[in-house]
Structure 1
């Protein structure tokens, strides 16, 4: 039987491969749910706002559903039978305030603009998603690099 022991969480370096493996399944599920929900409402309406908001709801459910399972699994392995309630806190803290700005402002605006400008809703949804993802992941990368430099400065010792 293999056990995993985490001794110092600060010592773990997480490179691009870790983040791609962690978020790609959620991105795939979120994109599929975005398209299905967005196109699903076109049966009843052609209003860009409604299509974009339905797509947003699908994307949030698809992406965070997969990410919640991933984080819960990681936390369960690390907890090894101990309290697993911290998984929800980890999910909430994964991206910090960047996530709230993205979900409440940037992504809805990008999706609405995409659906409004594109000749077909599917292309508008996908264009809006890509634009929002670029803004989101750039902000997350900046946030993580800033957090990492603050942590590194905090570990320095004064001679």
Structure 2
């Protein structure tokens, strides 16, 4: 139960921002280029990614700064690189499949199949998240001590 709480605390705010950005990105794309469904699927995917990873990176920076400050050390470009590397390890494989294949394909086809743009996008996001989080959480757990512990020198 403790792990579930940790994962929800880490991923849920990013997910909520991502849902809003996904819908906004796809909707804006549909309005600017009607009939360009692939463009809308990609816009929704990438808008969601920017919101999601932007939030997580910001949270990781705050935590790293806090850890370093307790030791009298400052956050540096090297610390920033470590935060980015930790995200890349956590999401690398899952994100490649998700952003370039699974999520855009689902966001293209599910609105067509369901007959609802918003409903199809939300369903696509939910289904893609399942295939995304299993490897991401495994990678997060494996990389926590090595890449996210700024208490070590």
Q: What is the TM-score of this pair, normalised by structure 1?
A: 0.74
Measured after TM superposition, the shift of residue 142 of structure 1 is 5.4
Question: Which position in structure 1 is the counterpart of 2:20?
Answer: 32
Question: Which position in structure 2 is the counterpart of 1:21?
Answer: 9
Question: Higher relative contact order at CA 8 Å, sep ≥6: structure 1 or structure 2?
Answer: 2
Report the CA distance shift for 1:102/1:40 in structure 2 as closer, same or farther (over 3 A): same
| Separation in structure 2 between the aligned mates of residue 93 and residue 16 of structure 1, nearest angstrom | 20
The 5-angstrom pairing of residues 1-159 of structure 1 reads 15-43=3-31, 44-80=33-69, 81-82=73-74, 83=76, 84-85=79-80, 86-141=82-137, 147=142
User: Following superposition, which runs of at least 4 residues in structure 1 exceed 3 angstroms of deviation?
Assistant: 139-145
| Separation in structure 2 between the aligned mates of residue 52 and residue 77 of structure 1, nearest angstrom | 38
Measured after TM superposition, the shift of residue 144 of structure 1 is 6.2
Deviation track 1:56-75 (CA, whole Å, cap 9, x = no partner) reads: 11111111111110111111
SS at structure 1 position matched to 2:91 = coil
| Separation in structure 1 between the aligned mates of residue 30 and residue 139 of structure 2, nearest angstrom | 37
Larger radius of gyration: 1
Measured after TM superposition, the shift of residue 120 of structure 1 is 2.2
Measured after TM superposition, the shift of residue 105 of structure 1 is 1.5
RMSD over aligned CA atoms reads: 2.1
Which of the pair is proportionally richer in helix? 2
How many residue pairs were aligned?
A: 134
Q: What is the TM-score of this pair, normalised by structure 2?
A: 0.77
Report the CA distance shift for 1:27/1:101 in structure 2 as closer, same or farther (over 3 A): same
